[in-house]
Structure 1
Amino acid sequence: MSTMDVTIYEVARRAGVSIATVSRTLRGTGPVAAKTREKVLKAVEELNFTPSRLGVSLAEGRHAANGVVFPDLAGPYYAEVLLGYEEVASELGRSVIILSTKGRTRVGDLIKDLAGRVDGMLIFGHTVPEPLVAELVRLGVRLVFVSRDPLPGADTLRSENTASARALAAHLADHGYERFAFLGAPLTSHDDVDERWRGVRSVLGGAIEAVDTGHYTVECGHEAATKLLKGRDRPRAIVCSDDEVALGALLAAEELGLDVPGDVAVTGWDDIMAARHARPALTTVRQPMRELGARAARALDELITGVRDTPSHHTLATAPVIRASCGHHPQEVRT
C-alpha cells in the first residue's frame, strides 16, 4: 500500500482507537493517554502515514474558525441558513469564513486553502466535487453537509422533501386540476429539488410536465412561467421548486392579466417572508432554514471538540402551508 493510499481511518483501525483520538494525537489538540499516543504513533510509523500539505496545515492546531462553502449567497434561502449557522457559531466563540463558489475558478484550490485555515467546514449540497470530498474525508477534515444524501465520513443535515411534495400534489389534485407544470426540474446536482419533483410526479403522474428553469431565481421563474402561460395548452397549476421561482410565476401571471388562482394556481417551497406577503399569499412548503444552519453549527462543533467521532445524518420535518394562491383557505396539510 502506497503512502497516498493510507487514510486516517486505517491508522485508527491499526491502533484500535477512534478517528478522533488519532486526530487529537496528531494535532495535539486534546488529552491522549501515553499508551494510546504510543499505539497511534506506532500505527502511523508502520503504515508510513504521511499527511499531505493540507494535512500538515490541519495538524497545526485550532483556529477557532469554521469555513462555510455555498454555491451562491444570493437569495433568502442561503441567507436564512447562514444566519442560523452564524448565530450558533458566535455563541460557541467561533468566527465564520465564507466561500461562495459562484463565478470562481480553481474552486478545488480555494477549498483546500480554506480547509487549512479552519477547524471544520459546512458545505452546501454538491458544491464541492466528489473526488475532493473524498480527499477531505481522507485527510480527517471535519465536515458537515447541508442538503445532500448521507455519505461516509461526514455529517449530513437536510429537510424532508418527498412526503411534503406528495401531500402538496394530492391537495392540488383534490381541487380537480388536471394539467400541471413543475418549474425548476430536475437538475441532478440538486438532491432536494429532484426529490420534490419525484414526490409530486408520484402523485400526479403524466399530468405534470417538468420545465427546467436553469436557476432557482425570480427572473428564471418569470421567464419560464411566461412561456408556459402564453402557450395554447397552459397548465392549470404551476408547482415551483422554491418560493423565488414561484414569485416569478406570480409576476408572469399578473403581467398576462391572468387571475391567481382563478386562471392558474401557483405553489412554492421554503416559506420565505415574501411568500406570506405576496398577493395572493403563496401556498408553499415550510422548511426550517435557520434551524438547518443552527444544527449544522452545533454538529460541526461536536466533531471539532471530539464529543463524537461517528457521523450523524438527520432529516428535519417540513409541512405544506396552504394559502390563497392555490385556491383554498389557509391551513397546514399534515404529511
Structure 2
Amino acid sequence: MTIYEVAKRAGVSIATVSRTLRGTGPVAAKTREKVLKAVEELNFTPSRLGVSLAEGRHAANGIVFPTLGGPYYAEVLLGYEEVASELGRSVLILSAKGGSNVREAVKELAGRVDGLVVFGRTVPGDVVAELAGMPLVFISCGPMAGADTLRCENVESARVLAGHLRGHGYRRFAFLGAPHTPGDDISERWEGVESVLGGAVRPVPTAEYTVEGGYEAARKLLRKKSRPRALICSGDEVALGALLAAEEYGLAVPEDLAVTGWDDIMAARHARPALTTIRQPMRELGAQAARVLDELITRPRPERHRTLPTQLVVRSSCGIHPQEDP
C-alpha cells in the first residue's frame, strides 16, 4: 500500500494524509477520522520517503565540511549520520577542500536536500544569503541571523587551560594556530588564552590544523634560542605535530617543553607522553546538528544558538613536576 492509495480511499489529497500522520498541520476531525480509517483498512505503514515526496521533500540532508580529513571531522560526521539514519534521512556530504567552485557546488547541493548543515565559515557569505529561508544549521560558528548555530565552549576552557599551565610556573608560551577569522573556534581559544597570559604568550600561525601543520610551525619555533617553555596548540593534531618536532630537536616532553592540545581525539590519549587537552563532545555536536536540522525541516521556528560544554583533561604532557623556566 502507498500513501496515494490511502488518499484515494479517504477521498483526500496526499498532503492531507501526510499532515494527518505527521501532525504537522491542521486537519478537520471528520477528515482525520476518514484518513485513519483508510490507513487501518489498507494496513498502511508510511515510509519516510513516501511522506517526504508527498510533502515535496527529498528525505535527504546536506552537510558541508571544509575537509573530510582528520579524526575531528570523522567524529562529528559519525554523530550526524547516526541520528540522521534514525530519523530516516539520507546524508549528502560536500567537502570544500580542493573544490574549484565551492559556490556552485553548495547551490547544487542545496537543490537536492531539505536542509543544510555547514561547518564554520566554509560557505561564502553571499551564498549563505542566497540560501535564506532554507533550514540551515551552522556548526562551530557564532550566532547568525536566520540559522541555528551549534558550537562547543572555547573561551572559558582556554582560560582554565592557560591558568593550569601558569600554575606550573611556566613563563614563556606560544599558541600554535593563530586566529584567522573573528568569532571562529580558534579565535575564541586564543582570546581565552591571551586573557590569562597576556604578553607572556604569542600567536604562531599554522598553515593547516593538521599534524603536518603543527610539525612545521613547531619546528621553526623550537630551533630558536629563545624558544617558549610551553606550547598551547589549537587542536590535538597540531599538538601531535609539535611532539614530533620536539623529538626531532632532542627535547623531552614535559621536562624541556610542555605541550597541550584541544579536542581529545583518540591519538591524544595514546601519545607518548599522553596529551593534556580540552575534551569537546565531537560526536554529540554532529548528533545535535542532525536533530536540530530535522526540527527546522518539520516544524519551522525562530533560530536558536546553543553551546556544548567542554572539559580540561590533564595528562603528563603539560608537566606534573615541571622545572622552573631558565
Q: TM-score, normalising length from structure 2?
A: 0.82
Q: Following TM superposition, by how much is the alpha carbon of 1:274 offset from its aligned partner in structure 2, in angstroms?
A: 0.2
Alpha-carbon distance between aligned partners in 1 of 2:101 and 2:26, rounded to the nearest angstrom? 38
Alpha-carbon distance between aligned partners in 2 of 1:89 and 1:196, rounded to the nearest angstrom? 30
C-alpha distance 59-116 of structure 1, shift in aligned 2 (>3 A): farther
Post-superposition Cα deviations, 1:248-289, rounded to whole Å, max 9, x if no partner, equal 001111111111000000000000000000000000000000
Is residue 303 of structure 2 the alignment partner of residue 311 of structure 1?
Answer: yes
Aligned counterpart, 2:235: 242
Alpha-carbon distance between aligned partners in 1 of 2:109 and 2:182, rounded to the nearest angstrom? 23
Q: Following TM superposition, by how much is the alpha carbon of 1:309 offset from its aligned partner in structure 2, in angstroms?
A: 1.3
Give the paired residue count: 277
Q: Following TM superposition, by how much is the alpha carbon of 1:33 offset from its aligned partner in structure 2, in angstroms?
A: 7.1
Specify the SS of the correspondent of 1:181.
Answer: strand
Aligned counterpart, 1:183: 176
Match of 1:322 among 285, 296, 314: 314
Alpha-carbon distance between aligned partners in 2 of 1:190 and 1:246, rounded to the nearest angstrom? 22
Alpha-carbon distance between aligned partners in 2 of 1:33 and 1:155, rounded to the nearest angstrom? 29
Is residue 128 of structure 2 the alignment partner of residue 128 of structure 1?
Answer: no
Unaligned runs of 5+ residues in structure 2 are 1-17, 29-52, 322-326
Q: Following TM superposition, by how much is the alpha carbon of 1:31 offset from its aligned partner in structure 2, in angstroms?
A: 3.5
Which amino acid is 1:99 matched to? L
Aligned counterpart, 1:193: 186
Aligned counterpart, 2:87: 92
Which amino acid is 1:328 matched to? I
Aligned counterpart, 2:56: 61
Which amino acid is 1:72 matched to? T
| Contact kept in structure 2, 1:125 and 1:190, CA below 8 Å | no
Aligned counterpart, 2:75: 80
Is residue 246 of structure 2 the alignment partner of residue 253 of structure 1?
Answer: yes
Alpha-carbon distance between aligned partners in 2 of 1:93 and 1:60, rounded to the nearest angstrom? 15
Alpha-carbon distance between aligned partners in 2 of 1:155 and 1:59, rounded to the nearest angstrom? 26
Unaligned runs of 5+ residues in structure 1 are 1-23, 35-57, 330-335
| Contact kept in structure 2, 1:322 and 1:328, CA below 8 Å | no
Q: Following TM superposition, by how much is the alpha carbon of 1:60 offset from its aligned partner in structure 2, in angstroms?
A: 8.0
Post-superposition Cα deviations, 1:1-60, rounded to whole Å, max 9, x if no partner, equal xxxxxxxxxxxxxxxxxxxxxxx99xxx954679xxxxxxxxxxxxxxxxxxxxxxx998
Which amino acid is 2:291 matched to? R
| Contact kept in structure 1, 2:142 and 2:183, CA below 8 Å | no
Alpha-carbon distance between aligned partners in 1 of 2:231 and 2:210, rounded to the nearest angstrom? 15
Runs of 4+, deviation exceeding 6 Å: none
Alpha-carbon distance between aligned partners in 1 of 2:54 and 2:169, rounded to the nearest angstrom? 61
Larger Rg: 2
Specify the SS of the correspondent of 1:77.
Answer: helix
Alpha-carbon distance between aligned partners in 2 of 1:124 and 1:254, rounded to the nearest angstrom? 34
Match of 1:228 among 221, 226, 232: 221
Q: Following TM superposition, by how much is the alpha carbon of 1:190 offset from its aligned partner in structure 2, in angstroms?
A: 6.8
Aligned counterpart, 2:151: 158
Specify the SS of the correspondent of 2:131.
Answer: helix
Q: TM-score, normalising length from structure 1?
A: 0.79
Is residue 99 of structure 2 the alignment partner of residue 107 of structure 1?
Answer: no
Indicate the percent of aligned positions where both proteins have the same amino acid.
69
Specify the SS of the correspondent of 1:69.
Answer: strand
Match of 1:169 among 162, 180, 189: 162
C-alpha distance 245-59 of structure 1, shift in aligned 2 (>3 A): farther
Post-superposition Cα deviations, 1:185-218, rounded to whole Å, max 9, x if no partner, equal 1111670000000100110011111100021000
Aligned counterpart, 2:257: 264
Aligned counterpart, 1:51: none
Which amino acid is 2:129 matched to? A
Specify the SS of the correspondent of 1:222.
Answer: helix
Match of 2:294 among 276, 301, 307: 301
Specify the SS of the correspondent of 1:205.
Answer: helix
Match of 1:148 among 131, 138, 141: 141
Alpha-carbon distance between aligned partners in 2 of 1:321 and 1:202, rounded to the nearest angstrom? 20
Which amino acid is 1:166 matched to? R
Match of 1:117 among 112, 116, 138: 112
| Contact kept in structure 2, 1:160 and 1:317, CA below 8 Å | yes
Q: Following TM superposition, by how much is the alpha carbon of 1:109 offset from its aligned partner in structure 2, in angstroms?
A: 1.2
Specify the SS of the correspondent of 1:214.
Answer: coil
